[in-house]
Amino acid sequence: MPKGGSLLKDGLRRLLKRKLAVVCLVVIVSYFLLAGFVCLAEFSDWRIGPTLWPEQAGESYAPPSSKNIFGTDIFGQSVLRKTLYGAKVSITVALCASLVSIAIGVPLGAIGGYFRGFVDQIIVWLYSTLSSIPYILLILAFAVVLRDKSIFGHKLTGITAVYLAIGLTSWVGICRLIRGEVIKHKDRDYVLAAVSYGCSRRRIILRHLMPNVLHLVIIDFSLRFVAFIHAEVILSFLGLGEASRPSWGAMINDARMELSRGVWWQMAAATAAIFVISFALNIFGDALRDSLDPKLRIQ
């Protein structure tokens, strides 16, 4: 590590040296920009043009052409427009689910690892119980239970129920990881020095322990993001996702019967969009892990 450089700065310097990782980062940022673009178009009156964002339905099952790049579906709607909406739905769900997962798993892991004893036993029992249930079945159960329910007067429909179902069931991994790291760090010299200076437990956890495990949170976020996108696609495919807006899972579900008629472009558009973002996230996540994790650094 360069003299005076932090772990995060050194990791970013190493990451930027990986050309493939940088390309994947550009792809990921492009997806986020497209999702933001759809949000702006959804809440404004401006249109993007007849080729990308046709205002009216066209011919049913029209093949890809200059007028509709990805063709149209049974209702004559642009498949490209549906694919862009699907990107917005999947990225929104994955981002919100990741934040919910981190908000639950990181504090519980830090508290259990630092205090140990009875508090730690309760936390370990809780995540051990959740991890013993098949993950996809647990998500489906939460999605069904939360659907059309109300929390603080807000009705959980569509996208909200999906990201809560994913976030509330996926914090186990980050909780276990943070707990193990805090257990390793709590007896190190810098923590013992903070204790000798009379620092409170809250300050030790927030100001001393958490900055030293933050790289693990970033790595876990990047690696789990793609898993949350896949979970949203599965829930949408099963009819438990966003019903009022197109999504990749719903597109794949609609395209199943179309393939027998030779209509392949809706299936191809959805699967291609999922493949590109999944590939980019996996490559970038692996590169980020190698760059930030001190044990995996390549000089």
Averaged pLDDT, 100-128: 92
- DSSP notation for 32-60: HHHHHHHHHHHTSS----TTTS-SS--ST
pLDDT of residue 108: 93
Q: How confident is the model at residue 46 (pLDDT cuts 50, 70, 90)?
A: very low
Residue 49 confidence (pLDDT) above 50? no
pLDDT of residue 5: 53
Quote the tokens at residue 72.
């149209």
Q: How confident is the model at residue 296 (pLDDT cuts 50, 70, 90)?
A: low
Domains and CATH numbers, the chain: 7-296 (1.10.3720.10)
| pLDDT tens for each residue of 94-113 | 999 999 999 999 999 999 99
pTM of the model: 0.82
Q: How confident is the model at residue 140 (pLDDT cuts 50, 70, 90)?
A: confident
Residue 54 confidence (pLDDT) above 60? no
| pLDDT tens for each residue of 190-222 | 888 888 888 888 888 888 888 888 888 888 888
- DSSP notation for 103-163: HHHHHHHHHHHHH-HHHHHHHHHHHHHHHTS-HHHHHHHHHHHHTTEEETTEEE-THHHHH
CB 233 within 8 A of CB 90: yes
How far apart are the C-alpha atoms of 36 and 296, rounded to whole Å? 34
- Which residues partner with 149 through β-bridges? 156
